[in-house]
Amino acid sequence: CSPLESYGWCQTLSTEEYALAIPPRDFIQALRVDNGQPEELMRVFRRIDADASGALSASELRALMAQVKGSSCSEEELEYAVQLLLCKYDHGRDGELCYAEFEAAVHALASQVDRRAYALAATIGVAFMGFSVMFPMGPPLVQAFGLSQLQFGTLTTVFAVGKLSGNIPSSILAEQYGRKPLLIGGLLAVGVGIGGIMFATCYEHLLLLRLAIGLGVASTFTAAGMYITDISHSLNSARTRAPMQMGMAAGMLIGPAFGGVLMEHIGFQLTALGVGAATFATALAASVLLPETLQ
């Protein structure tokens, strides 16, 4: 390939505008690649190179873009996507992509992580912070409600039961009704379970609230995992999942310390109410920022 010479006009476009014209996930899926190794990319390149010329012409790229964009895409949109691909990666400015340029395009598009992954990570972080706030809340609950060791132990058990029993139903519902309702509903359940401690008057109330938290965490985490699958592809699955794992770890790290500080200053009831309200606010933000991904 010839040395780099920029076309110029495409350099002013933002990452979002590139993604709208050439959706990275759809592009990688249209290539049908699993690992991005040179041998596999060469096989894909030869498959697209219909005339075996050793370079991908505009017509061959148009055929590829038709697979990427789908049958509903107009001729103008296809032409724009092809020109954008050539503008950005045709370093030789010969109107074609040689293998090295094609490989660079694949790696560049594969490396992009959907920004929704970071909003989802924040959502998961709040959910896990919410239930981990309960860790330092144990002694005040025992004292305020006069719980026995057995009763306190069952509060932990019922959370695990809720989380365990909620996973499979959540996945079924997410496939039928979408990821977003389960994600938002899970956050609301966590918010109710935590904030409700403010109004609990007996051990049975605490059991129900802990069950709600367990079911909420199961729903949120299951829907989030399916959401990540929807916005990732075979070449960036790990990178797309990493923010969610970091959000979960951050929530588990911050929650107990944050809860302990708050309880020292305002007591466990107001702490529970405040964390519950924050979880509700997160559910509201997620409902606005995260679109449905189920096709």
CA 232 to chain centre: 8
C-alpha to C-alpha distance for 44 and 157, rounded to whole angstroms: 52
C-alpha to C-alpha distance for 197 and 193, rounded to whole angstroms: 7
Structure token pair of residue 266: 């305002």
Q: Mean of the pLDDT values across residues 269-288?
A: 93
Could you tell me where in the chain the CATH 1.20.1250.20 domains are found?
Answer: 115-289
What local confidence, expressed as pLDDT, does residue 9 receive?
Answer: 58
C-alpha to C-alpha distance for 93 and 178, rounded to whole angstroms: 44
Indicate the pLDDT class of residue 11, thresholds 50, 70 and 90.
low
Indicate the pLDDT class of residue 36, thresholds 50, 70 and 90.
confident
C-alpha to C-alpha distance for 83 and 60, rounded to whole angstroms: 12
pTM of the model: 0.83
3-class SS of residue 144: helix
Q: Mean of the pLDDT values across residues 113-134?
A: 88
What local confidence, expressed as pLDDT, does residue 8 receive?
Answer: 58
Could you tell me where in the chain the CATH 1.10.238.10 domains are found?
Answer: 15-111
Whether the pLDDT of residue 5 is over 80: the answer is no
C-alpha to C-alpha distance for 48 and 35, rounded to whole angstroms: 18
Summary mean pLDDT of the chain: 89
Q: Which amino acid is at 21?
A: A
The CATH class of 115-289 is: mainly alpha
Write out pLDDT tens, residues 188-225: 999 999 999 999 999 999 999 999 999 999 999 999 99
Whether the pLDDT of residue 6 is over 50: the answer is no
Write out pLDDT tens, residues 147-184: 999 999 999 899 999 999 999 999 999 999 999 999 99
Q: Which homologous superfamily is 15-111 in?
A: EF-hand (1.10.238.10)
